[in-house]
A and B are shown apart, each in its own frame.
Chain A
Amino acid sequence: MVRRFERASLKNKLMLSMLVGILLISATIAFIARWILVSSLTNELEQRGAAIAHSVAERGGSCILDNDIPRLLSLIFDERRLHERKKLVSYIVIEDQHGKVLAHTMTRRLPPAVLAHELPQDLRQSIQLVDLDGEAVYDIAAGINEGLYRIGTVHVGLNKSHIDSLVSKLRVAFLGFISGVVVIAFFLSNRLSRNITKPIRDLTAIADEISRGNFDIPIEASAPDDGWDFSDCPAYPNSDLPCWHFDLSHTERPDRMPEEYRNCRRCVFYSKREGDEVTQLADSFRNMVWSIRLYRHRLRESEEKYRSLFDSGPDPIFVVDCESGRVMDANPRVEELYGYSRDELRLMSYTSLAPENYQECLDHFDDGGGCIYFPKAIHYKRGQAPFFVNMHACPISYRGRHAIIVAVTDITEMIEKDAQLIQAGKMKSLGEMSAGIAHELNQPLNAIKMGSEYLMMVEETGQDIPARQRLEVVAEISAQVDRASGIINTLRSFGRQADLVTEKVDINGPVRAVLSLLRRQFELDNIRFRLDLPEGLPAIKAHGNRLQQVVFNLVTNARDAINDGSDPGDKAGERVIFIRTQASGGSVRLEVGDTGPGMTEEVRGKVFEPFFTTKEAGQGMGLGLAISYGIVKDYGGEVQIESEPGAGTVFRLVFPAA
């Protein structure tokens, strides 16, 4: 019952409560009134009966004394028929003190029930309900006294049905009155509750419409009689304008920073009219609806903006589902670059396009990381053709699922250019080296030439030489051929273009390769090498021949620095390049130092800039260190410089161990 009441509408609740209240009050009033009226009516009638009895007794006393029965009879008949008493009074009976009936108004035999009612001596009167042949009658007995003596009793029978009919008339009247009250109350409460709940119902209907997405409904409860118009809101047409801009509290508290505005305290655009709670509610509602409309509008605009960015952006963008690893969405550029249609992409696993980094990405996001950047990742087009990209991945929520948004930049061309640049730099290095290499190759060639010339001469002139000597010469020739082919192999590996994939490299390898080409040349310049290349260092992931280029660059820079500081003929200047490799804590280091003049801080800050050179015009392009820096960065390494003017320079490359 209570639950049913709670489920009922507010209107019915109001109505019911009012009705019940009014009913309770009116019923109480009715019952009290009826009780008072009925009892007093009954009393009054009984009084009247008693009065009749007494007046009969007064007037009939003498008749009884005189024993004048006819007068007594006419007396009681008169009394009974007086006015409207004949309906009320059913009989009058007079008996003497011995209970003998002297006179009565009955037209039939006197029922014994009347006589059974005796008046005790000490009472003036008594009332008793008696049954008169099926009729209920109030029998009022009053004594007839003469002086101190009772000489008889008068019985007046009051017709109970008459009294009852009077009472029932009263009852009907009251019931009618109450019904009237109830009906009126019902109508009143109905109207009242309907008036109270109507705005709420209207607002509910509007809210329902809004939930269905229909915003174009007038809010009747607040007809804009105050000149309020949606199109006045400055934030509506311009979605770039922050809404809090129109918060009046900003002017009140100018010390607050705009970042704090997440909620407007007093919007310049919202209006509240004077009025009762319903009006207030309607206005609040109107403002709320407006706010929803505004933000929906802004949201749609922003969504359209970003969707158009997604669709027309210059770079491929994927949305990848974290759990299944499937491509949920992809923009047209993905189709162009990867060569799959969007429908095909939706059926594909992201890892078939980009096998690298995906798990790393997920782990990173699981640890609560934000966006993550992978430079030079390898992705695959249709037909498993690899190409290089820079890849940004950010965690988002997409259609209620954890997803990754992957933005990709195709850098294949850049990588190719990079490789070409590195190759060009290498060619330049080779050019610089050529004189030295020629000299270097000339030495074994010379020994071979002279050895073979010697053997020829010995043959031609028929000289007799010991077999041991002959063997020695031949062995020397063979050794010198090996030496020459070693130089050629080094050159070849240096000049080769690196593969795309890195290999595990022992850092000492490239150092030794470069030294085999340059060492003698440098020694001819009176530059000594001090090497500390311990065996058994951990490998690093890199390209051997690119590292050779880096080492070459560092070593030749060191030589140039030394030559800037002193001349080869100087006996005073210490002309040393030291090269150290070491491993420490998961990283492998290579240091190339010189005893040159060192660098100022200004130069130190610029050495990696392309086309920055300290050499004279025409001596250097200023690309060597820029290229070297790029190469080292590619392998996840870094370059540190320690240099003070007058204290030489140390370049330290730090690579992560593979």
Chain B
Amino acid sequence: MKKILVIDDEQPTLKMFTLLLEAMGFSVLTAEDGRAGVDVFRDERPDIVFTDIKMPVMDGIEVLRNIKEINPHAEVIVITGHGDMELAIQALNLDATDFINKPVQRQALSQALQRAEERLALSRTEQTQVSLEEEKDKAVLHLRGNVTGLTGTFLQSSFSRAAALGHGCIELRFDENASINGAGITTLTDLLGDFREKGGRVLITGLSENFRTVFDMVGITRLAEFGDGSH
């Protein structure tokens, strides 16, 4: 039974999270502010952390920073107000693995949980996160798990190899569970920009709704076409 820590200053929200997550079969820890949340994390080492970003005393960004100091591989999902993308990206830059919008939908919650669990499984198996294959008219880059600054160099070399195949079209096929942080996004933006200048096409498929929104925000959508992922 996986332990989940929920940090939010809203008592009703905590109550509902507890009910939902317990009904989904997790054991739930709660904290009403960031500082208490970090303490609980340190003591309990939960698998997944949900934290609200806007909180008094210690906000979610600070919580994220503290938790990442304790455990850089912790799965931290930030809860943002709807359309509050700046904060979401800021959180991604601090290696939040995912974000979820308030009001929290069951579907989005279960997807986020699913992705987190998959990533947890991945990081344990330490599978390669970027792989290249060639299809008949394009190069396909598979992306799994967490695309971070750590995978940046690997992503760059893979991308150059894909470009070298000379199809003029590269598909970035994200896994369901894939998440991408700020450094990853920066790397990707540079790569796509260069490739586009050379006259190449990029197709992005399989990206979760959340990250599509992020890509919209940072302008990657202007550099690439989005597919529905059905290939």
Contacts and interface: CB of A to CB of B under 8 A. Distances in A.
Interface in B38-56: 54-56
B231 interface: no
Contact of B19 (A445, A461, A469): A469
Contacts of B55: 524
A448 interface: yes
A35 interface: no
Interface stretch (A48-56, A125-133, A449-457): A449-457
B23 A450 contact: no
A442 interface: yes
B4 to A, nearest CB: 14
Contacts of B81: 438-439, 442
Interface in A241-262: none
Question: B interface, how many residues as a size bin?
Answer: 20 to 34
B104 interface: yes
A476 interface: yes
Interface in B80-134: 81-82, 102-106, 109
A231 interface: no
Contacts of B1: none
A461 B25 CA distance: 12
Contacts of B20: 450, 453-454, 457
Contacts of A454: 16, 19-20, 23, 106
A463 interface: yes
Contacts of A476: 12, 15-16
B56 A524 contact: yes
Contacts of B24: 457
A446 B102 contact: yes
Contacts of A463: 23
Contacts of B62: 569
A526 to B, nearest CB: 6
Contacts of A446: 10, 13, 16, 102-104
A469 B103 CA distance: 21
B106 A457 contact: yes
Contacts of A465: 23
A528 to B, nearest CB: 9
A447 B106 contact: no
B57 interface: yes
B32 interface: no
Nearest to A455: B19
Given A439-B54, A458-B23, A450 B17 contact: yes
B176 interface: no
Contacts of B56: 520, 523-524, 526
Given A450-B20, A454-B19, A457-B20, A526 B57 contact: yes
A473 interface: yes
A450 B57 contact: no
Interface string A348-386: 000000000000000000000000000000000000000
Nearest to A444: B12
B31 to A, nearest CB: 16
A429 B202 CA distance: 44
Contact of A449 (B10, B54, B59, B104): B104
A278 to B, nearest CB: 105
Interface in A573-608: none
Nearest to B103: A449
Nearest to B79: A446
Most central of B10, B15, B20, B54 by chain A CB within 10 Å = B54
Contacts of B12: 443-444, 447, 451, 476, 479-480
Given A443-B12, A480-B12, A524-B59, A450 B54 contact: no
B57 A442 contact: no
B130 to A, nearest CB: 35
24 contacts: A438-B82, A444-B12, A446-B10, A446-B13, A446-B103, A446-B104, A448-B103, A449-B105, A450-B16, A450-B103, A451-B16, A453-B20, A453-B105, A453-B109, A454-B19, A454-B106, A457-B24, A458-B23, A479-B12, A480-B12, A523-B56, A524-B54, A524-B56, A569-B62
Given A447-B10, A447-B12, 15 more contacts: A442-B102, A443-B102, A445-B102, A445-B103, A446-B10, A446-B16, A450-B103, A453-B105, A453-B106, A454-B16, A456-B106, A469-B19, A473-B19, A476-B15, A524-B56
Interface of A: 438-439, 442-451, 453-454, 456-458, 461, 463, 465, 469, 473, 476, 479-480, 520, 523-524, 526, 569
Interface of B: 10, 12-13, 15-17, 19-20, 23-24, 54-57, 59, 62, 81-82, 102-106, 109
Lowest 8 CB-CB distances: which A-B pairs, in order?
A450-B16, A449-B103, A447-B12, A453-B106, A523-B56, A446-B103, A446-B102, A445-B103
